[in-house]
């Protein structure tokens, strides 16, 4: 007899006459929100809901609805935890942790308990009158908001969930739950985020988050993704659920779909908004940072899109103008004249000539590169338009006295990605200082990829993504304050492997470059990579090494010394 059975006595025998439906209706009458599960013979999929159950986190199903669910012979049901059922469940996965809990908190085990049909461990049910977040605990789970448990009487894969201790639910206080979580190594986060509204910078208004929402919709081509990200931003700044819902909900409901989408009613959109924002508060707010100020002063255009545009003539001019307009707060779809654009961008170093090149920029207007590589890692577009990317307005009402200035429509991120056949993901920040000149802009793109991911890179690859030569890239590296560490592969030359050094003529005929290879003696003096020179040095008794340069390591920070990696033998060159 286990310690658990010694506390409660033997487990209550399952009564075959009581069906799963009767157990589910009993739970419903006790005020719990019930949903049907798949059940069956599979122990994994059997615990999954048969229906879309998110709506039943907000409203309970009726008795008739529950009976209708179980007409098909469902063998399992779930009980939704959280405020809808005023319920939390401590679900143990490890018997040792379960026994420790019973020994530590004997006053909490006099409650309704269900024995799991899977591991045979216990589910402790508690009534709560305050919000609790679902979280992982040591040796189990705390089931609360947005989660459910398999109810008593369910049968999955031939195993039964049985009532272990049939008594009314014990009401647990917030202090008691905090004590439980502190003992099991996880401190329960506050039920509501702390409020720091008075600490938010004065220049950031609630309208700012609405503009960020519209910007995210264009960037990610998803209204729900944009809503979730803006909700996380506002949550981290201390706004509560009601404030976020009041600020963002109308913008989300009224925003038209960005893809083909089934028409929805206002009620459906509001319900979707509520569920998405509730998912934001499943996790505690991240530490307060300066993310709002950084986001407000930076432009984010997908990196693959930037690389595709840089392949074309006047692509840099277009990107500087486009990102400059984003930095000053202009959104896609707005109409501006050339004079208007020059007025707002001239203080940031963008002249009239660059603006004209940007306004007349077309994907086919290129004489610097072929169309074989539109962007690194992207496919060749099936068809490139001959129209300007900044679309001119077609309606031009002519006056008897003058012709009104031409207005241009700012394109969306989605339209640009579709035009160049790239995905809208992965964007590095660009600031006002980065658009001051072409050199500063390209240098910033190179700097940000190194800042984001310091690693080994080929200079040819870095130069190709910016559509410049290697020598120009080296100037950008110095301008961006990027540190470079040289990697050398060394192999000791002996009479037995000297024949592996490829002669220059044979290497050229095989299409192999030896530009980055050389010989080096013990004093550090370098020689051309020729077998004759290596034999001469060996006859003189001078140790010699075959040196080959690899990709350099780039990062932003302190300097480091060159690194040499010794290789056991020279790489062979085969001729066919």
Give the span between the Cα atoms of 168 and 86, in whole angstroms: 13
Give the span between the Cα atoms of 139 and 91, in whole angstroms: 9
Type and span of the H or E element at 115: strand 113-115
Torsion, Cα of 450, 455, 459, 464 (10° steps):
-60
Give SS3 for 183.
helix
Confidence of residue 350 (pLDDT cuts 50, 70, 90): very high
294: exposed, middle or buried (Cβ count in 10 Å: 0-12, 13-18, 19+): exposed
Instruction: Assess contact for 186 and 135: CB atoms under 8 A.
Output: yes
* Higher-scoring residue by pLDDT: 293, 458: 458
Does residue 314 come out as left (phi exceeding 0), alpha (psi in the -120 to 50 range) or beta?
A: left
Looking at the chain, the whole-number percentage of residues with pLDDT higher than 90 is 19
Give the span between the Cα atoms of 446 and 479, in whole angstroms: 10
- The pLDDT of residue 206 is 65
Q: What is the pLDDT of residues 145-155, one digit of tens each?
A: 888 999 999 99
Arithmetic mean of pLDDT, 197-225: 64
Q: What is the pLDDT of residues 489-540, one digit of tens each?
A: 788 888 888 877 777 666 666 665 666 788 888 888 988 888 888 889 999 9
Whether the predicted pLDDT of 219 surpasses 90: no
The contacts found for 94-99 with CB under 8 angstroms, 24 or more apart, are 94/121, 94/139, 94/140, 95/120, 95/121, 96/139, 97/138, 97/139, 97/140, 97/184, 98/4, 98/122, 98/139, 98/140, 99/2, 99/3, 99/4
- The pLDDT of residue 200 is 38
- The pLDDT of residue 15 is 36
Ranges of beta strands (E only) in 214-305 are 299-300
The mean-pLDDT minimum among 137-141, 295-299, 374-378, 400-404 falls in 374-378
What domains are there in the chain, each with its CATH number?
Answer: 3-183 (3.30.2250), 197-296 (no CATH), 305-453 (no CATH), 483-566 (no CATH)
Find tokens 């979280």 and name the residue.
Answer: 135
Residue among 335, 329, 321, 319 nearest 298 (CA): 329
Confidence of residue 574 (pLDDT cuts 50, 70, 90): very low
Q: What is the pLDDT of residues 253-264, one digit of tens each?
A: 888 776 666 777
Give the span between the Cα atoms of 380 and 421, in whole angstroms: 7
- The pLDDT of residue 149 is 93
- The pLDDT of residue 151 is 93
* Higher-scoring residue by pLDDT: 540, 209: 540
Give the span between the Cα atoms of 46 and 535, in whole angstroms: 74
DSSP structure class, residue 503: P
Whether the predicted pLDDT of 395 surpasses 70: no
Whether the predicted pLDDT of 340 surpasses 50: yes
DSSP structure class, residue 82: B
Give SS3 for 474.
helix
Q: What is the pLDDT of residues 177-195, one digit of tens each?
A: 888 888 875 543 333 333 3
Share the mean pLDDT of the chain: 78
What are the start-end ranges of the H helices in 328-437? 338-345, 352-359, 413-420
Instruction: Assess contact for 56 and 80: CB atoms under 8 A.
Output: yes
């Amino acid at each position: 007899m286990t310690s658990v059975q010694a506390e409660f006595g033997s487990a209550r025998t399952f009564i075959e006459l009581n069906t799963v439906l009767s157990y589910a209706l009993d739970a419903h009458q006790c005020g719990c929100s019930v949903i049907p599960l798949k059940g069956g013979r599979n122990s994994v999929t059997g615990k999954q809901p048969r229906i879309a159950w998110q709506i039943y986190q907000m409203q309970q199903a009726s008795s008739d609805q529950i009976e209708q669910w179980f007409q098909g012979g469902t063998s399992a049901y779930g009980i939704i935890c959280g405020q809808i059922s005023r319920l939390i469940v401590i679900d143990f996965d490890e018997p040792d942790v379960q026994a420790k809990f019973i020994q530590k908190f004997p006053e909490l085990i006099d409650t309704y308990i269900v024995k799991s049909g899977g591991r045979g461990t216990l589910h402790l049910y508690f009534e709560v009158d305050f919000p609790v977040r679902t979280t992982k605990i040591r040796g189990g789970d705390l089931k609360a908001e947005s989660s459910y448990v398999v109810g008593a009487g369910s049968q999955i894969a031939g195993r039964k969930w049985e009532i272990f201790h049939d008594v009314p639910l014990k009401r647990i206080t917030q202090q008691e739950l905090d004590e439980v979580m502190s003992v099991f190594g996880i401190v329960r986060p506050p039920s509501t985020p702390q409020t720091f509204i008075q600490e938010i910078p004065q220049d950031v208004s609630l309208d700012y988050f609405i503009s960020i929402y519209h910007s995210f919709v264009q960037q990610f081509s998803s209204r729900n993704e944009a809503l979730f990200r803006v909700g996380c931003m506002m949550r981290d700044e201390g706004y509560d659920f009601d404030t976020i819902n009041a600020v963002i909900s109308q913008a989300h409901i009224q925003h038209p779909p960005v893809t083909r989408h089934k028409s929805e009613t206002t009620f459906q959109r509001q319900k979707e908004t509520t569920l998405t924002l509730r998912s934001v508060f499943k996790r505690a707010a991240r530490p307060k940072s300066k993310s709002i100020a950084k986001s407000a002063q930076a432009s984010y255009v997908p990196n693959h899109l930037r690389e595709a545009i840089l392949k074309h003539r006047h692509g840099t001019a277009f990107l500087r103008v486009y990102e400059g307009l984003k930095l000053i707060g202009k959104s896609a779809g707005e109409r501006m004249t050339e004079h208007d654009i020059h007025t707002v961008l001239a203080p940031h170093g963008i002249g009239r000539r660059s603006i004209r090149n940007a306004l007349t920029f077309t994907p086919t207007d290129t004489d610097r590169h072929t169309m074989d590589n539109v962007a690194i890692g992207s496919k060749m577009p099936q068809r490139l338009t001959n129209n300007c990317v900044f679309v001119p307005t077609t309606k031009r009402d002519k006056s008897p006295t003058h012709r009104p200035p031409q207005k241009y429509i700012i394109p969306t991120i989605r339209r640009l990605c579709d035009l160049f056949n790239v995905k809208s993901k992965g964007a590095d920040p660009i600031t006002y200082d980065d658009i001051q000149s072409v050199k500063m802009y390209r240098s910033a793109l190179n700097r940000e990829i190194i800042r984001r991911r310091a690693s080994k890179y080929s200079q040819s690859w870095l130069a190709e993504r910016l559509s410049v030569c290697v020598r120009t890239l080296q100037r950008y590296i110095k301008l961006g304050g990027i540190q470079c560490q040289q990697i050398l592969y060394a192999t000791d030359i002996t009479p037995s492997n000297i024949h592996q050094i490829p002669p220059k003529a044979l290497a050229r005929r095989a299409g192999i470059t030896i530009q980055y290879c050389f010989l080096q003696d013990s004093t550090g003096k370098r020689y051309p990579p020729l077998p004759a020179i290596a034999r001469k040095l060996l006859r003189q008794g001078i140790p010699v090494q075959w040196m080959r340069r690899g990709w350099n390591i780039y990062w932003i920070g302190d300097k480091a010394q060159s690194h040499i990696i010794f290789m056991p033998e020279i790489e062979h060159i085969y001729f066919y």
